């Protein structure tokens, strides 16, 4: 055989080997990227759920603060319902601070503190989820 043809065949075989290796590496990286994207989607969904739950908590606590500030009647069905729903959320904070009042109007400082505590808890959970995501991305 001609030495030039042998060299060409060896070069072609080496190129095919390198090409196959690159193709395999690209496919592996694609699968890894898709797995990372799926983890990121799940984490984003978890963050959305946490945000929605805290939105509900903020809304309920805020509504309770406004109704107390405006002097809503305790005998009202809606007020009783709201009190029942917020009891587990606001119970630990009732009586924490003095709540000034002027006639039927009352500023529930304890509830404002509760809203601040829930905001801090919300941010802590978001940071924890982000920390978990960053750790997964690096591993």
Q: How confident is the model over 15-55, as pLDDT tens digits?
A: 788 878 878 887 777 777 777 778 888 888 889 999 999 99
Half-sphere exposure of 92 (CA within 13 A, CB side): 7
CA-nearest of 53, 35, 36 to 126 is 53
Cα 36 to Cα 48, 117, 129, 137: the distances in Å are: 18, 33, 15, 7
In the predicted model, is pLDDT for residue 136 greater than 80?
no
Would you tell me how many other CB atoms lie within 10 Å of the CB of residue 50? 16
Is residue 110 a contact partner of residue 94, using CB atoms and an 8 Å limit?
yes
User: Would residue 79 be called left, alpha or beta, if left means φ above 0 and alpha means ψ between -120 and 50 degrees?
Assistant: alpha
Q: Which residue has the higher pLDDT, 128 or 6?
A: 128
User: Would residue 103 be called left, alpha or beta, if left means φ above 0 and alpha means ψ between -120 and 50 degrees?
Assistant: left
In the predicted model, is pLDDT for residue 135 greater than 80?
no
Q: How confident is the model over 74-105, as pLDDT tens digits?
A: 999 999 999 999 999 999 999 898 888 888 88
Domain range annotation of the chain = 3-138
């Amino acid at each position: 055989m001609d030495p030039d043809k042998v060299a060409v065949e060896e070069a072609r075989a080496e190129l095919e080997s390198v090409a196959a290796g690159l193709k395999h590496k690209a496919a592996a990286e694609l699968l890894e990227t898709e797995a990372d994207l799926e983890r990121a989607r799940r984490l984003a969904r978890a963050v959305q759920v946490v945000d929605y739950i805290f939105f509900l908590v903020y809304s309920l606590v805020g509504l309770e603060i406004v109704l107390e500030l405006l002097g809503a009647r305790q005998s009202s069905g809606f007020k009783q319902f709201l009190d029942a729903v917020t009891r587990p959320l606001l119970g630990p904070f009732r009586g924490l601070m003095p709540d000034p009042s002027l006639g039927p109007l009352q500023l529930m400082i304890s509830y404002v503190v509760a809203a601040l505590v829930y905001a801090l808890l919300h941010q802590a959970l978001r940071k924890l989820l982000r920390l978990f995501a960053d750790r997964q991305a690096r591993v």
